[in-house]
């Protein structure tokens, strides 16, 4: 049983490290993603102190990232009767995690990009020079694409898992 415990610890550590690296590609910092991975693979809720100890991070770093994970909806606080410490547990349903991350990325990346593209398209709409027209056309094409991606993100995020898989199968088939 000791060998299994050590093997699990090693596999979990590898997963936490990789999830942290992947998180940076999702637009979240490495520590935030590592905390999410740790909680997601934990058999039960963990305290801030346990997270700090497991990941060897400071209290401030743990607190800030736990708070952000809660605000995203990827982690929730759990109250235990008679306990003064806060406990945290992660959302474990994979489709729900995906839709939360997609929603947050849209809000943080696509929505601001769409605003800038819209502003630039409006500002260049009346331009008559070759350069001005080319800029306007390019920005408008980008705006149309980002708007399409934004609508697709909204649509996918509201789909049930089974329906999304069916749609993906048709598109990729």
In whole numbers, what is the pLDDT of the chain averaged over residues? 91
Maximum distance among all Cα pairs of the chain, rounded to whole angstroms? 76
Summarised one tens digit per residue, pLDDT across range 138-152 is: 999 999 999 998 998
Residue 104's pLDDT is: 86
Residue 148's pLDDT is: 93
Tokens of 148: 């399409």
Sequence-separated (6 or more) residues with CB below 8 Å from residue 104: 27, 72
SS3 39: helix
Residue 84's pLDDT is: 87
Angle at 141 between CA 135 and CA 137, to 5 degrees: 30
Summarised one tens digit per residue, pLDDT across range 70-91 is: 999 999 999 888 888 999 999 9
Distance CA 35, CA 75 (A): 10
pLDDT band at 67 (very low <50, low <70, confident <90, very high): very high
Mean pLDDT of the 108-130 span: 94
- Cβ-contact 56, 38 below 8 angstroms: no
pLDDT band at 31 (very low <50, low <70, confident <90, very high): very high
Residue 165's pLDDT is: 72
């Amino acid at each position: 049983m000791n060998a299994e415990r050590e093997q699990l610890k090693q596999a979990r550590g590898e997963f936490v490290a990789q999830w942290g690296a992947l998180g940076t590609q999702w637009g979240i910092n490495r520590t935030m993603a590592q905390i999410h991975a740790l909680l997601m693979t934990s058999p039960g809720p963990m305290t801030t102190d346990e997270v700090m100890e497991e990941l060897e991070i400071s209290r401030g770093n743990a607190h800030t990232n736990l708070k952000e994970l809660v605000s995203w909806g990827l982690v929730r606080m759990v109250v235990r009767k008679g306990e003064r410490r806060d406990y945290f547990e992660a959302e474990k349903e994979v489709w729900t995690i995906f839709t939360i991350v997609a929603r947050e990325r849209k809000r943080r990346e696509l929505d601001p990009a769409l605003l800038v593209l819209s502003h630039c398209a409006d500002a260049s709409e009346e331009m008559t020079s070759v350069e001005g027209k080319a800029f306007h056309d390019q920005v408008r094409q980008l705006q149309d694409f980002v708007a399409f991606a934004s609508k697709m993100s909204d649509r996918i995020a509201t789909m049930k898992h089974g329906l999304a898989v069916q749609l993906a199968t048709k598109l990729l088939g």
